[in-house]
Amino acid sequence: MKQVTISNEFMTLMVLDYGAIIQKLLVKGKDGNYTNVVVGYNHPSRYRLDENCLGACIGRYAGRISNGSFVLDREKFLLYHEDGVHLHGGKEGFHQKYWNIEEVSYGDDPMVKLSYRSKHLEEGYPGNLTVNVTYRLVNNALQIIHEAITDRSTVVNLTNHSYFKLDDSPFIDAYELQLNCPYLLETDDNLLPTGNIIPVRKTNYDFLLPKEIGVQRLDTPFIKDMGNEKVAELHSAKSGITMSVFTNQPALVVYTPLDFPGICFETQNYPDAPNQPDFPNSVLRPGETYNNITIFKFDLVP
């Protein structure tokens, strides 16, 4: 397992070739000390047994697909599933693959670029898919770019699965969260979208104005305000760190596991879009390029 470390004046990023995992993201404080703002393991080998997809690239399709299948161009493709639900690309998704380290730059705006080639019918998906993930440090921000091309029509939905923690608290209940997401996707008992789109205002999922997360547990697909690239803001009063999330994707799945010291922001397309004709397009054709750009920006509040 290989590790790459890049740094600038404000941040240090450690990336593994296994799962294209973000192992550590260190943010410099006003006192000159660094805070690791992602949940992870010190020993890379532990990621092979991890079941939480810590820091990894998720694909070929992030989130859930119903009935363990989808129809594309009148052909049905059967995916790996458990009780009819396909999750995060299958039994051996991109988070469990070794990626190639294609490029590393240590100068201004340091970056590391990794690639993976997913073969035709891997986990049931059609087409040979070539995926690139680029991590770049730009001042006090981490930019993540997911790109993909295919030789046959397929479906694609990539995201990063880092769990963020802005201080050393064992829980995230006291974090203040704001989401520029006026709607959410209604889900059933299997967390699959029903197709209904629900306003969040005056519900337990209303984070349009900043408020403490509290005991509210989220595993929720929110719909972004498409007029605003900034989709979320997270603040820790204890550390003074504020993290802002920007994305070109239409949805944000916010995940806060029970008794866990982190929160996951999965910027992506709608879950189960391959089976929901009214959801945004998830199909990638030959000659097209899939592009997911997400930025995590860190500021220190006095």
Catalytic residue among 146, 161, 233, 235: 161
Please say if 186 is a catalytic residue: no
Contact 188, 154 (CB under 8 A): no
Structure tokens at 53: 């997809």
Sole residue written with tokens 């550390």 = 239
Q: Which amino acid would we find at residue 11? A: M
Please say if 86 is a catalytic residue: no
Q: Extract the runs of DSSP E, i.e. beta strands, from 181-289.
A: 183-187, 193-199, 211-212, 219-223, 230-235, 241-247, 251-255, 263-268, 283-284
283 contacts: CB under 8 Å, gap ≥ 6: 72, 153, 154, 155, 274
Q: Which of 191, 23, 159 is nearest to 89 (CA)?
A: 159
Catalytic residue among 122, 123, 233, 266: 266
Structure tokens at 299: 């500021």
How far apart, in whole angstroms, are the C-alpha atoms of residue 81 and residue 87?
7
How far apart, in whole angstroms, are the C-alpha atoms of residue 285 and residue 280?
15
The distance of Cα 270 from the centroid of its chain, to the nearest Å, equals 13
Residues carrying an active site annotation:
161, 266
